[in-house]
Amino acid sequence: MDYYCNQKFWWLSVDPESKTYNSCCAARSQKIDLKWIEQHPGQLFNSPWLVKEREDMLQNKPVASCETACWQPEQNQLPSRRQKMMSTEVLYTDTHADPKMLSVIIGRDCNLDCVYCCKQYSTSWLRDIKQNGAYLDDERFQLNVSDQLYLKAGQNIIKQTQSYQTILNELCQIKNVEELNIVGGEPFLSNYLLDLINHFDCKITINTGLGVNTERLRRIADQLHSHVEIFVSAETTGSLYEFIRHGNSWNQFLTNLDVLQKRFKVDFSSVVSNLTIFGLEQFQKQFGYSKVVLFCNDPIYLNACVLDDESRQRLQATEFLYNNTQIQNNIKQSATEQQIQNFKTYIREYARRRQLTYDMFPASFVQWIHRD
């Protein structure tokens, strides 16, 4: 097996709030050594950890941070991130370099608790877990000290801390960035979005779930340059959208989408899971091609192969307009009994806490969810 991924040589992802970073947004993160970056300004991308990862890849060694996003899916014949991003070609060999892509998690404030999201990217998820406890014995459902502090302090206080300002200063000193990619949380809920963007003179992309008040969205959008590109996270429509991306209505989504489409180039980022797969065909027909299609491998029990037999057969007979081969290859994989049980436990509790029905899903799928 080949363990090279060229994203490790040009992509830097940073979360100033959690004080973590990695190369590639899907890799496992590591804590930033604040003293090290103060001593080596502008060199976060060339930290000893990231340099060692690039050296290992050049020696065809599997780096540990990519285990969940790439190595495990590929071993199970599922599409990995590096394959989807076509990053397996050996295009770069310099272990010390400047990142072309700088991806910043501007904050975890988010009004949505999307079904495949987690506490790291949503304050709505944080509040749910704090109030109601965990769903499964999984780190994504367990609050740590940092989570508790975030809920107590909020974004304004956190962004004034010395550690946040140190990391922000480091980001502004990184040279030769060709694209700044802003993710969240919900970037349009951050009070620091414009401040961060104004530090960079390069291509800007913003990833949004559109779970934001329309007037606030319009006000911030009016202050952005027209060359900013927007990626909207969505892959279903109507009532299924409202189940998947709980906290937003379909009408609100369409209204906010219209606000952005009148001002910017807008594309879609879609997640293929065992829940979104039922609405993906309709979404593709209504909105067309999604430039970014991600397959849900974390948590693995939301993978598109975790289905009842009748739904699997029906979906395998579906001709998706885009990415059909990859989607079908994902659906035909076999799910383990543990994955099935974890999914059923999780989705029952997810729906119960939010008082959601399953009316938008096929009857066989619903019956299967409730069958032990």
Per-residue pLDDT of the chain (372 residues; tens, 9 = 90+): 789 999 999 999 999 988 999 998 778 899 999 999 999 999 999 999 999 999 999 999 999 999 888 998 888 777 788 887 788 999 999 999 999 999 999 989 999 999 999 998 999 999 999 999 999 988 889 998 888 888 888 777 888 889 989 999 999 999 999 999 999 999 999 998 998 998 898 999 999 999 999 999 999 999 998 889 999 999 999 999 999 999 999 999 999 999 999 999 999 999 999 999 999 999 999 998 888 888 998 899 999 999 999 999 999 999 999 999 999 999 999 999 999 999 999 999 999 999 999 999 999 999 999 998
Residue 119: per-residue pLDDT: 92
pLDDT in tens, 177-222: 999 999 999 999 999 899 899 889 899 999 999 999 999 999 999 9
pLDDT in tens, 310-347: 999 999 999 999 999 999 999 999 999 999 999 999 99
Is residue 320 a contact partner of residue 284, using CB atoms and an 8 Å limit? yes
Say how far apart CA 231 and CA 210 lie, in whole Å: 10
pTM of the model: 0.91
